[in-house]
Every structure is written in structure tokens, then in C-alpha cells.
Amino acid sequence: VAEDGLNGWLRYARLDDCHTKGKLDTIPKTIVTLNATKDSPLETAGTELQTGISGILGLDLAINPGTSEKGTKFVISTADAYKEEYGDLPEGVDLIDDGFYLSTKDADVLIIGSNQRGALYGVFEYLSRLAQADFSKDVYVTNPEVPVRWANQWDNLWANGTHGSIERGYGGVSIFYDGFGHVREDLSRVPLLGRLLSSVRINAIVINNVNADASLFQGTNLDGLQRIADLFRPWGVQIGLSQYFASPQTIGGLDTFDPLDEEVITFWTDLTNEFYRRVPDLAGFVVKANSEGQPGPITYNRTLAEGANLFAKALKPHGGLLMFRAFVYNHLADWEDWHADRANAQVEFFGELDGKFDNNVVVQIKYGPIDFQVREPVSPLFGHLRNTDVAIELQVTQEYLGQQCHLFYLPPLWRSIFDFDMRVDGKQSYVRDIISGKVFNRKRGGYTAVTNVGMNATWLGSHLAMSNLYAFGRLAWEPTLDSVEILEDWTRLTFGLSRGIRDAVTEMSMLSWPAYENYTGNLGIQTLTDILYTHYGPKPASQDNNGWGQWTRANSESIGMDRTCWNGTCNAGQYPDEVAQRFENTETTPDDLMLWFHHVPYSFKLHSGKSVIQHFYDAHYEGAETAATFPDTWEKVRGKLDDERFEHVLHRLKYQAGHSIVWRDAINEFYRNLSGIPDEAGRVRNH
């Protein structure tokens, strides 16, 4: 157990007597783990339960003391081992991989996993209840919505002076690599992270940047990978690796990386076999190909599916998965072309490849068609892949969303995507049901998130940002969970049971998305940040006139991307018919996506009755006003938690309040100058 910041939501703080009165006698006296071999998740489950109960209740429990009478023990086991020892589980207990059965109704508490990992998840669940003073008698089964619940780290082997050693990471340097091309000697952060991930049922972590550097797979670094995997394994967390498509050339000494070339195939087969020799439970690979300058199969006129299948075939005998990223687009797009549109790229590249991927390929799709913006419609590709397994890619790291210097609680944004009804074939088809495989009758689906924790004492650079990591795991398991309920659990576990802290965190967090959207980019125009380099701070002028395709097409008269089929890029037409028709017309497009789909004059009247330009002015003031309330809201909890965390959070919130004014004035002035239309309210920039 690490110092508090590193424990995140696993603090196991002692409950007050008022919560435990009369309850301690109901807690079993010993822990029995069945078949717990050394360093197995089941062994971890036993010691974690022991640690948790000692912290939360102050009770010292022995593990496997030899004899334990009926009615005095915790039983932690897999279903198979339980059956052998005690007989069948109750009727109706139906477990799938990683699921578990928890029974607190009798004197013996049963925590039975479908597998060892499931049993460990069950222990975390039990401790989470206990830490929140929930001693109720209960019995239930819980199973995951999808088998793929992966964190993605964008860690680099080499430190880069400007960006540190994690691409788009805001929590310090890598916990895996030393910045000089090697796996760290001291990997003591790895099991601490494994513990956090496991507690929210994330079952794998990709440990290197999607912009991959193949030198990770040479020399002593291979030993390093093995060490990392060995440290995650007791927590039931597998590792995955990002692969560089041109590796056969750069580290293999071949003069080609053509995916159909025999020598290239042999190169990947051999390398994959070597990985599995060292890491037999390797989860698989992630590949970013033909995207943002990365090499890929298209260089050799091969399809993206042929490129993906190259890896899939090497992984197949080992049971590994190939997560193939759909983030493929031309970053040198023609700004002069009214019909060019980066948002169309995924369907253009992948739509016709449906059914051409091997069955251990999962296409990993960012939630929106562009790039983790404050407001995007769901990627239309989710409606096209009927014969391909898919995973959604989210970001816990707040690349465009304030980089952890701004509070932004992400679950409401994620839920708006999961809960969108695509109306495939005119029928109800929520995106979460497409991901899980229910809509197209697929067996495998996934939730992935770019997490980018680092060496910072808070992991992510901000205490409050940890609610997003916590929530990602919870939602990947059960995507219909309520954002507030998740947050309340997290707050109790992180800051204790104070109602005041819970109210403050909930109030600020639930206002954070609308506030950020208001002051950084509304009506679907995207986050109006510096898109060329930092992705931080206001810079609306950087969106247009370049090849990156995050265009607003703002001029002195009008603004917005025309994505209609009648006059624009026809991105609206990539959605299933009912949705396409809705987005084709301004009358049926919601205000918050109006400028995503339509190019309109600044005077255009929204459904709200306001003009676009006045909405901009008002929203930016509203957003900044909301952010200005955050430090005051937090002040109310002064003294209810330790000073260190109180001050750290306060510092960030004050900064956010100030920076939101910078945003407000920069954006409002930019569009006032461009349009020449004054703010009806007569507000001018305050010098």
C-alpha cells in the first residue's frame, strides 16, 4: 500500500465508530483462499482483503490458518475450485469470464470468481462497499458488458524536452521508461497502478505509445517488458504492445515492410513468438497505421485489413488480439476543397473492409469522427461494421479538455455517446449495444481509454481527474451506470464519507462539461484551441487554412462545416437514414451540433431563439461564470479533508477560473472582430 495520493480511491481509511458500531462481530474472522499459488490474482485477493479490512475496520484477519469453522470465514475462490471443495454454487449463478458472485447474506462471506481475476474483482467490490460503510446483506452476480477493457498509455522510451516522455500526458514522466531509451530499473509504480486498474476491472494495459518506437523490442528492453508484465500479473492485468508497422525494415534489416511479403510475415511471426515466450499472457497488439505520417500497408497498395491481418495471424496461435485503430485520415487535406472532410475518413477507409478482418481483430474507434473534442457526434463508423468486432476509444487524459488543469468530469460526455441511438435499419441501436456486440450479434467488444498516468504523486496531475480513471473502468464494465452514482462512490472512497465534500465534488464535476464547452467552443464548433501544437488554451485562428482538417470555415459572414449531402461534404449521409436526415437539416439538428453539420451566417437563429454570434458571447460568459464558482464551492469543504489535497485542488480551481476568462475574452473578441457584430449585452473585454 502506497502513500495516499498513489492509493487513489483505495485508501482504506478507518471508518468512524458510529458507522461500525455493532457491525464488527458480523465480519468473518479468517480468510480462506482456494488454490492460491504464489503471485496469482487469487493470492493477491487474499492479501488485499486482509489489508483492506485492517485499514477500514482495524481488524487483523489470518489467511488460511488451517482450520476454519463454518460461519467464520471469507471464501475467495474460482467457481471450479469452490465446487470441488464445497459443492455447487446456488442455482442461477451464471458467470462469464471475469465475472463474480458475492454473497454477504450468510455468516460465511463468499467471493467466487469465474476465474481468478473475477475473484479479485469481487474482493475489491466487497472492500468498496465496506469503505462506504455498507454492511448490508446481499447476494448477486455481476458480469462484464465486454471482454476488452483496456487502458492505453502513450509512453515514449525517449524523453522529449517539450512534451516529457508521455505523448499528451499531464501527470509527469513515464512510470515504465527512463527517458533514455530503456525500461526503468525501478518499476515500483507498476504494481500500484495494477492495483488501481484491477479495482475498476480494467484487464489490460498497452504500455507504449501508439506512435510506436520499435527499439522497445530489442536487447535488454525485452527483459524489461517481461518485468513489467510480471508486476502487473498478480493484479490480473495483462500488458499489450503498440507495434510500428515498418519494424521489419527498421529493426529487422529487411528492405520492405509489405504485409504480404513472406520475409515480413516471418519477421512478425518470430517477434510475436518471442514476446509470448517471455509474456505468455500478452493481451495483444495495438496498431496505428497510415495515420499522421505513420507507415502502413497502403504504402504497398495493400488494404488496411491486409495490414491488420498480418499481426492477427501471428497473434492467433497465442490467443492474442489485434486492436487496429480506425484513426486513419489524411492530415494534408485540401483546405480549398469545400467537399473535403476529415470526419469522412474513417468510413471511407474502413466501411468497405467490413468482414475482411480476421476474427481476432478488433477495430478501435475514437468516440467522434475527429479527435476527442468537447462535443462531437458519435463516429459514424459504428453504424457500418456489422461483421467486425469494435471497441470505442476514449481519453482519460484531457488532451483537448484542459489537460488536467481544468476540472472536467468526463462520464456525462461518454454517456452521451454510449446512449446515442444510431437507428441502424430504422431500429433502436444504442452505440453501447453496438460496442457490446448486441446489435450486430458479435461476441466481442471493447472499451479502451488513453489514460496516460505518470510519475506525478497524483498519477494524473490532479486529484479530481482521478474520478475519470475510476469511472472509465466502472463504465467499461457497466456502461449504463449513472454518472453521479459513480462519482459519489469515488468521492466517498477518495475523501471519506463527508456529505459536504460529496456535494461539492458532485456540483463542480457535473457542471464541468457544460462550463468547459461554453467557454472553449460551443454549438459543435469543437474545442477552439491551438490545434497545431499544444492543444491547450484558446487559438481559434489555428483551426482553418491548414491540412489538419479540424476546420470551422469561419469568415466575416458565416461559420461552420457544411456536412450536408445537398451542399457539403455529405458526412451527415454516413449515418443510418433516420439520423442522416436529422443532421441534414438545420431544423432537426440540435443546437449543440449545429456548426458541426452546417455552415450558417452569424445571424442564424438557433432553436433557442438566439443568433449564433449572441450564443457565442453569452455562452462564453456563462461558462466563465460557472468556473468562477468552483473555488467558492471548494472553499466550503476547507477543514473537512487534509490540507495538502485541499490546497492542491483549490490551486487548480482558481487557475481554471482565471483561465476561463482568458478563453472567454479571446474567443469572443476573435469572433467580434471577424463578424463585426457587437454583443447585444454591450460587454467588452475587460483590460
Q: Shortest Cβ distance from residue 531 to ligand GCU (Å)?
A: 9
Q: Please check whether residue 364 is in contact with residue 336, taking contact to mean a CB–CB distance below 8 angstroms.
A: no
SS3 149: strand
Q: Shortest Cβ distance from residue 400 to ligand GCU (Å)?
A: 8
SS3 174: coil
Question: What are the angstrom distances between the C-alpha of 650 and each of 5, 502, 626, 632?
Answer: 16, 16, 15, 9
Q: Shortest Cβ distance from residue 108 to ligand GCU (Å)?
A: 48
Give the footprint of ligand GCU on residues 73-92 (CB under 6 A). none
CB nearer to ligand GCU: give 123 or 370: 370
Q: How many residues does the chain have?
A: 687
- Catalytic one among 292, 419, 632, 644? 292
- Catalytic one among 399, 433, 584, 618? 399
- Catalytic one among 43, 213, 306, 371? 371
Kindly state whether residue 534 participates in binding ligand GCU, applying the rule CB under 6 A.
Answer: no
User: Where does residue 643 rank: exposed (0-12), middle (13-18), buried (19+ CB within 10 A)?
Assistant: exposed
CB nearer to ligand GCU: give 400 or 616: 400
CB nearer to ligand GCU: give 375 or 502: 375
Helix, strand, coil distribution of the chain in percent, nearest 5? 40, 15, 45
The one among 36, 112, 120, 210 contacting ligand GCU by CB under 6 A: 210
Q: Please check whether residue 373 is in contact with residue 524, taking contact to mean a CB–CB distance below 8 angstroms.
A: no
CB nearer to ligand GCU: give 209 or 509: 209
Closest alpha carbon to 592 in 373, 342, 365:
373
SS3 272: helix
Give the footprint of ligand GCU on residues 148-207 (CB under 6 A). 167-168
Please state, in angstroms and rounded to a whole number, the distance separating the CA atoms of residues 450 and 457: 19
**Strand-pair category, 73-78 with 109-113:** parallel
Kindly state whether residue 371 participates in binding ligand GCU, applying the rule CB under 6 A.
Answer: yes
Give the footprint of ligand GCU on residues 508-527 (CB under 6 A). none
Give the Cβ contact number of residue 408 at 10 Å.
26
Q: Shortest Cβ distance from residue 218 to ligand GCU (Å)?
A: 23
Please state, in angstroms and rounded to a whole number, the distance separating the CA atoms of residues 613 and 602: 5
CB nearer to ligand GCU: give 206 or 627: 206
Q: For this structure, is 371 an active site residue?
A: yes
Give the footprint of ligand GCU on residues 379-438 (CB under 6 A). 399
Please state, in angstroms and rounded to a whole number, the distance separating the CA atoms of residues 687 and 679: 17
Q: Shortest Cβ distance from residue 395 to ligand GCU (Å)?
A: 9
Q: Shortest Cβ distance from residue 327 to ligand GCU (Å)?
A: 5
Q: How many residues bind ligand GCU (CB under 6 A)?
A: 8
Burial track 284-294 (b if 16+ CB lie within 10 A, e otherwise): bbbbbbbbeeb
Ramachandran quadrant class, 441 (left: phi over 0; alpha: psi -120 to 50; beta: rest): left
Q: For this structure, is 644 an active site residue?
A: no
Kindly state whether residue 288 participates in binding ligand GCU, applying the rule CB under 6 A.
Answer: yes
CB nearer to ligand GCU: give 263 or 544: 544
Q: Shortest Cβ distance from residue 160 to ligand GCU (Å)?
A: 12
Ramachandran quadrant class, 349 (left: phi over 0; alpha: psi -120 to 50; beta: rest): alpha
Q: Please check whether residue 569 is in contact with residue 344, taking contact to mean a CB–CB distance below 8 angstroms.
A: yes
CB nearer to ligand GCU: give 289 or 314: 289
CB nearer to ligand GCU: give 223 or 292: 292
DSSP state of 177: B
User: Phi/psi of residue 180, each to 5°?
Assistant: -120, 30
Give the footprint of ligand GCU on residues 227-256 (CB under 6 A). none
Question: Residues near 88 by Cβ (< 8 Å), separated by ≥ 6?
Answer: none
Please state, in angstroms and rounded to a whole number, the distance separating the CA atoms of residues 275 and 264: 17
Q: Shortest Cβ distance from residue 535 to ligand GCU (Å)?
A: 6
Q: For this structure, is 84 an active site residue?
A: no
CB nearer to ligand GCU: give 397 or 574: 397
User: Phi/psi of residue 581, each to 5°?
Assistant: -65, -40
The one among 327, 430, 495, 602 contacting ligand GCU by CB under 6 A: 327
Q: Shortest Cβ distance from residue 371 to ligand GCU (Å)?
A: 5
Give the Cβ contact number of residue 399 at 10 Å.
23
Question: Which active-site residues does the annotation give?
Answer: 292, 371, 399
Q: Which residues bind ligand GCU (CB under 6 A)?
A: 167-168, 210-211, 288, 327, 371, 399
